[in-house]
Structure 1
Amino acid sequence: MTGTVLVTYGTTNGSTAEIAEAVAGILRKGGLTVESCPARSVRSVVPYDAVVVGGGLYAGRWHKDARRFVRRHRDVLAQRPVWFFSSGPLGDSIAGRDVPPLRGVRRAMTRLDARGHITFGGCLKEGAKGRIAKMIVSSGKGGDFRDFGAIEAWAQGIADALTHA
């Protein structure tokens, strides 16, 4: 593949954006042309040959910007290779586990014949937006639970699939 890959995301406190940037960086190292931007700012996916969509998990739902992006662009996304990721579980409990996608994400994956999904640990630190997020941080249950080694390995798999297609 010689086209451009879009890595887009819905995030509230920036953790999912940082994961998306890490994914984009690995794809670039793999020789791909990559654009990375918030899902709410994408006007068209027509210029892209493949798409990676990430969404933070909030109260058992994928970030609204990621959900809206998939709904708005579903017809074009169905014609391209698409991967999804979620971020957000806090704590070490997901380390090394395959966490299935939320029901809504799973439905979108089926409709679009998505190539894959992964859930990464999240990050919630002092200064987080939102009442619940602030309560989690103040209770001592916040922190950074992202595994950038796992993120890079997953992104490398996408780069390999796209460059050897």
Structure 2
Amino acid sequence: MTVLIGYASEHGSTRGVAERIALRLRERGIEAEAVRLSRARDADAYEAAVIGSAIHGGTWLAEAADYVHRNAGALAQRPVWLYSVGMAKAIGGRFEALAKDPREVAELRAEVAPHGHRLFAGALRPSHLPLAGRVLYRLTRGRYGDFRDWAEIDAWAAGIAAELTAPDGRARPRTPEGGAPA
């Protein structure tokens, strides 16, 4: 089984999450490749997919949403998981609540029926923000750093691996009608 761990990343946090998920799946004997979605093969080249994007302004990067829309037919027949990476998780409160379901993810759920969506915190460095953004961030007592929770990411990857290798076939590809094949 070959699993696409596709990502769209602007500053590298999402790429790091994708690489970690791929590593954890490979440790469990699953062939997984982390690849930027602009360079990924069509989804029909894979037997499952874990697709993620950085969140900017409450939305996925166009590269990720475009890949899923272009490959919706093939993805709808495979086990798929979605994830988002952004600072909203680290900030918490209403920012986290809004980011838990980015606009595109609701659309993508209808197209590909993913097994789940997860929001992870990212990393933030001063160079990621324009001057005005850095000033505002400091005024609100924001702090810079890498906020990715590797234990949370590892646990999610372990759950995906368990579904992909489950003897009862829970994560088997779906038929066009949405159910598991007989």
Instruction: Identify which of 148, 151, 173 aligns with 1:149.
Output: 151
CA RMSD after TM alignment: 2.3
Range 133-142 or range 104-113, more displaced: 133-142
Change (3 A) 1:23 1:50: same
Matches of 1:121 and 1:133 in 2, distance apart? 22
What SS does the corresponding residue of 2:92 show, helix, strand or coil?
A: helix
| 2:130 paired with 1:125 | no
Change (3 A) 1:54 1:113: same
Matches within 5 A, 1:92-111: 92-93=91-92, 100-111=100-111
Matches of 2:132 and 2:13 in 1, distance apart? 13
Structure 2 unmatched ranges of 5 or more:
170-182
Change (3 A) 1:111 1:147: same
Runs of 4+ in 1 over 3 A off after TM superposition: none
TM-score (norm 1): 0.87
Matches of 1:53 and 1:114 in 2, distance apart? 10
Change (3 A) 1:79 1:88: same
Q: Which has the higher contact order (CA 8 A, sep 6+)?
A: 1
Structure 1 unmatched ranges of 5 or more:
none
| 2:81 paired with 1:83 | yes
Partner of 1:68: 66
Report the residue type matching 2:160 in the other structure: I
Which deviations, in whole Å up to 9, do the C-alpha atoms of 1:121-157 show, x marking residues without a partner?
Answer: 11112433x5379627973533211100000000100
What SS does the corresponding residue of 2:46 show, helix, strand or coil?
A: coil
Which deviations, in whole Å up to 9, do the C-alpha atoms of 1:33-65 show, x marking residues without a partner?
Answer: 111100111131212100000100001111111
